[in-house]
Amino acid sequence: MVDILILYYSVNESTKKMARLISRGVESVDGASATLRTVASEKNTNKNSDPIVDLNDLKNCSALILGSPTHFGNMASPLKSFLDKTTSEWLKGTLSGKPAGVFTSTSSMHGGQETTLISMMLPLLHHGMLIVGVPYSEKSLVSTKTGGTPYGPSHVSFNDSKELSNDEKEICKSFGKRIAEISKKIQN
């Protein structure tokens, strides 16, 4: 059994919706489960929020998927703050050799999705993780007029809609499924 940790920060629910879709993709794979966690922040006031991540969640996961809204072309500070506290896991090699992926949401088409995704990859690479993206064999990546990149799923709200497009939804689900399948292959 592989357990995929989906760790996200969400302000306006878009990133949270993406996390849920990615978890559906993970759980479509036999022998795979998804654990949803969020990070502590001043804005975690939603009673329906997922549990706050604990460093033990990193130890127990088979793979890690990070999600954050884009803030000035970068990940949001609550997620970065959590990652900055993982030095002991880095020293132990807790995440080394495990698959990892990233996803983001923005309010505008050119809001910095790709730089945000890459900024989230950097600490994962330092941890020795194996970065997984979205291949162009995913048909929705080719047809999307909204979010979606080879670096990871993305959503564009165009400043008014929190609803994901059908292409964005499919990219999220296929991404979760891909990471779960790769995790199973690595574990075997």
Domain count, the chain: 1
List pLDDT tens digits, range 95-104. Answer: 999 999 999 9
Tell me what pLDDT residue 42 has. 74
Whole-structure pTM value: 0.95
CATH number of the domain within which 110 lies: 3.40.50.360
User: Which residue type sits at 9?
Assistant: Y
SS3 32: strand
Tell me what pLDDT residue 110 has. 81
Under 8 Å between Cβ of 146 and 14: no
SS3 5: strand
Across the chain, mean pLDDT equals 93
Under 8 Å between Cβ of 80 and 67: no
Under 8 Å between Cβ of 14 and 169: no
| Residues counted in the chain | 188
Mean per-residue pLDDT for 157-184? 92
CA distance 146 to 143: 9
Nearest Cα residue to 48 out of 38, 33, 34, 57: 38
Give the H/E segment covering residue 142.
helix 139-143
Q: What percent of the chain has pLDDT over 90?
A: 83
Please give the residue range of the domain that contains residue 72.
2-187
- Kindly give the interhelix angle for 14-27 and 166-187, rounded to the nearest 10 degrees: 50
48 pLDDT higher than 80: no
> What string of H, E and C letters represents the secondary structure of 52-119?
ECCHHHHHHCCEEEEEEEEECCEECHHHHHHHHCCHHHHHHCCCCCCEEEEEEEECCCCCCHHHHHHH
76 pLDDT higher than 60: yes
**Tokens (6 digits) for 185:** 């292959």
157 pLDDT higher than 90: no
Q: Comparing 178 with 109, which gets the higher pLDDT?
A: 178
> How does strand 74-75 pair with strand 63-71?
antiparallel
